[in-house]
């Protein structure tokens, strides 16, 4: 190679490598870091401006509200909440403006957003429940009130809101004939009261055994609940039961079918539908529905009672006995389980057991028939100022015995405490 050629070659070859030849990964990492840093700076600048920019004051909106300028107050409050969405005072004030404009549903939906740590939380939840209930959104009203009833040591509910929410829930449950959910509320209130108030809640435990809202009166309420909120499963199930109780079978069937269509795992709807079909003697449909149980069905005593009913239809007495014994194991204080078991035991030639179970059925039925008289006696004494201590003690003792026979253990203990002067 000549010296000229070597010089040309040397000039064409740079004395350093290009970035792509040197380390392309490092160049890309530098670019990414620079972009990220720029983005972070931009975000912090935006956040600073967002957090420090002037927002409407609640006091200004409240003044407009007091003057009846609802729309103007609402506009200011919504602007403030866009910047501070968990401002409890602004949320409550906005709810007031919405209520002032007659939009109770929007009022309730606003109150439900008040954060749990706010001092206004308890009142907000109670008022939200009231507003929901006034526009027939029963399910959402129940949700709001339950937030006050469920005890949270970190956020205790003031007694006045706790007791008012409990009372409102019992009114709702009475309309829906839903005592499965009512009894826990009653006992929660019992635990948080003393003296005469506590006795009143104890008496509330017995009241559903004596008087209930007539189905024909409940139906219009339940229809409004469903019209307002078609997803309210409890109202739909209650409406199905009310229709069945008033002889409107086709309408009841339609409601139960819709319940299971919307939620095939709704064990309560499945149970109530089977109860209706069994009482109406629709065996084919009964067996069809029984064959498609929800996953939680085995946990319910009534499921085993239904299975025993199917076994009896097939004259499989051994299986019927097994299923009834399982039902009794899950719920040992249901008279009809023992009555049916006694009939099956007769079929199996087990006369002694059948006699024993019929006697137990009679004891529970007799106790239930005595509730009204025993309750009336104690109530009369309470209204008369308690009467003589011995009379009050005897009346409470009788109620304790009835509750013990019925299997209401906690109620029996509570009445026993009153009987001994507790």
Q: What DSSP letter does each residue of 48-97 carry, written as one string?
A: HHHHHS----HHHHHHHHHTT-HHHHHHHHHHHHHH-TT-HHHHHHHHHH
Interval 177-217: pLDDT, tens? 999 999 999 999 999 999 989 999 999 999 999 989 999 99
Q: Which residue has the higher pLDDT, 28 or 415?
A: 415
Interval 115-156: pLDDT, tens? 999 999 999 999 999 999 999 999 999 999 999 998 677 778
| CATH superfamily name and code, 215-298 | Tetratricopeptide repeat domain (1.25.40.10)
The residue with tokens 């409470």 is 396
Burial, 387: exposed, middle or buried (Cβ in 10 Å; 0-12, 13-18, 19+)?
middle
Q: Which of 302, 296, 295 is nearest to 277 (CA)?
A: 302
Cα angle 364, 287, 178; round to 5: 45
pLDDT of 33 higher than 80: no
- The span from the CA of 199 to the CA of 183, in Å, is 15
Q: What DSSP letter does each residue of 159-225 carry, written as one string?
A: HHHHHHHHHHHHHHHHHHT-HHHHHHHHHHHHHT--HHHHHHHHHHHHGGGT----HHHHHHHHHHH
Task: Look up residue 299 and give its DSSP letter.
Answer: G
Torsion angle of C-alpha atoms 90, 135, 169, 98, degrees rounded to 10? 10
pLDDT of 420 higher than 50: yes
User: End-to-end alpha-carbon separation of the chain, Å?
Assistant: 119
Interval 36-77: pLDDT, tens? 665 565 555 444 444 545 788 988 888 988 899 989 989 999
pLDDT of 19 higher than 70: no
pLDDT of 403 higher than 60: yes
The residue with tokens 């050629």 is 5
- The span from the CA of 182 to the CA of 86, in Å, is 32
pLDDT of 25 higher than 70: no
pLDDT of the residue at 93: 94
Interval 225-269: pLDDT, tens? 999 999 999 999 999 999 999 999 999 999 999 999 999 999 999
Cβ pair 176, 234 in contact under 8 A: yes
Q: How far is CA 104 from the centre of its chain?
A: 22
In a 3-state reduction of DSSP, which class is residue 291?
Answer: coil
pLDDT of 379 higher than 60: yes
pLDDT of the residue at 151: 67
Task: Look up residue 156 and give its DSSP letter.
Answer: P
- The span from the CA of 252 to the CA of 240, in Å, is 4
pLDDT of 99 higher than 70: yes
- Six-digit token pair at 378? 């104690």
Task: Look up residue 155 and give its DSSP letter.
Answer: S
CA distances from 282 to 190, 213, 286, 319, 369 (A): 42, 27, 6, 21, 31
pLDDT of 91 higher than 80: yes
pLDDT of 6 higher than 70: no
CATH 1.25.40.10 fits 58-209, yes or no: yes
Q: Which residue has the higher pLDDT, 298 or 24?
A: 298
- Six-digit token pair at 179? 């005592």
Summary mean pLDDT of the chain = 89
Q: How far is CA 15 from the centre of its chain?
A: 78
Q: What DSSP letter does each residue of 107-137 carry, written as one string?
A: HHHHHTTS-TTSTTHHHHHHHHHHHHHHTT-
- The span from the CA of 353 to the CA of 158, in Å, is 53
pLDDT of 2 higher than 60: no
- What letters, b where the CB count within 10 A reaches 16 and e where it falls short, cover 143-165? ebbbbbbeeeeeeebeeebbbbb
Q: What DSSP letter does each residue of 5-35 carry, written as one string?
A: HHHHHHHHS-SS--HHHH-HHHHHHHHHHHH
pLDDT of the residue at 384: 85
- The span from the CA of 303 to the CA of 293, in Å, is 9
Residue range 104-113: average pLDDT?
97
Q: Which of 102, 112, 103 is nearest to 139 (CA)?
A: 112
Highest mean pLDDT among 81-90, 206-215, 326-335: 326-335
pLDDT of the residue at 402: 97
Orientation of helix 301-313 relative to helix 283-290, angle to 10°: 130
Q: Which ranges in the chain are annotated with CATH 1.25.40.10?
A: 58-209, 215-298
Residues 6+ apart with CB under 8 A from 33: none
pLDDT of 309 higher than 70: yes
- The span from the CA of 117 to the CA of 155, in Å, is 7
pLDDT of 168 higher than 50: yes
- The span from the CA of 252 to the CA of 249, in Å, is 5
% of the chain at pLDDT higher than 70 = 87
The residue with tokens 């023992």 is 338
- The CA radius of gyration of the chain, in Å to the nearest whole number, is 34
- The span from the CA of 256 to the CA of 168, in Å, is 26
Task: Look up residue 158 and give its DSSP letter.
Answer: P
Residue range 378-393: average pLDDT?
88
pLDDT of the residue at 58: 85
């Amino acid at each position: 190679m000549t010296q000229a050629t070597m010089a040309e070659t040397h000039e064409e070859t740079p004395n350093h490598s290009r970035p792509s030849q040197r380390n392309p990964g490092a160049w890309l990492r530098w670019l990414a870091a620079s972009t990220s840093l720029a983005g972070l700076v931009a975000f912090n600048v935006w956040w600073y401006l967002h957090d420090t920019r002037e927002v409407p004051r609640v006091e200004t909106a409240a003044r407009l509200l007091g003057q009846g300028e609802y729309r103007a107050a609402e506009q200011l409050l919504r602007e403030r909440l866009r910047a501070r969405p968990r401002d409890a005072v602004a949320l409550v004030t906005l709810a007031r403006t919405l209520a002032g404009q007659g939009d109770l549903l929007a009022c309730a939906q606003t109150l439900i957003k008040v954060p749990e740590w706010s001092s206004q939380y308890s009142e907000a939840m109670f008022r939200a429940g009231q507003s929901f209930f006034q526009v027939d959104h029963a399910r959402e009203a129940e949700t709001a009130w339950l937030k006050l009833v469920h005890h949270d040591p970190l956020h205790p509910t003031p007694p006045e809101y706790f007791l008012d929410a409990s009372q409102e829930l019992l009114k709702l449950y009475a309309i829906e004939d839903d005592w499965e959910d009512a009894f826990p509320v009653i006992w929660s209130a019992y635990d948080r009261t003393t003296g005469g108030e506590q006795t009143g809640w104890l008496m509330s435990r017995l009241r559903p055994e004596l008087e209930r809202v007539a189905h024909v009166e409940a139906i219009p309420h339940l229809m409004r609940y469903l019209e307002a909120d078609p997803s309210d499963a409890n109202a739909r199930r209650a409406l199905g039961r009310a229709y069945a109780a008033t002889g409107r079978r086709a309408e009841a069937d339609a409601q139960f079918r819709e319940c299971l269509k919307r939620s095939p795992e709704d064990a309560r709807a499945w149970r109530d539908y089977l109860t209706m079909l069994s009482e109406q003697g629709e065996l084919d449909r009964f067996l069809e529905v029984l064959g498609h149980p929800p996953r939680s069905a085995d946990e319910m005593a009534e499921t085993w009672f239904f299975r025993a009913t199917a076994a009896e239809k097939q004259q499989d007495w051994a299986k019927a006995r097994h299923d009834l014994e399982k039902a009794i194991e899950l719920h040992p204080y249901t008279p009809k389980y023992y009555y049916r078991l006694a009939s099956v035991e007769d079929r199996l030639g087990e006369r002694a057991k059948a006699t024993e179970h019929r006697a137990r059925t009679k004891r529970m039925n007799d106790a239930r028939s005595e509730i009204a008289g025993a309750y009336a006696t104690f109530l009369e004494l309470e209204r008369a100022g308690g009467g003589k201590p011995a009379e009050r003690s005897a009346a409470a003792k009788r109620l304790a015995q009835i509750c013990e026979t019925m299997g209401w253990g906690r109620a029996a203990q509570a009445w026993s405490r009153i009987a001994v002067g507790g």
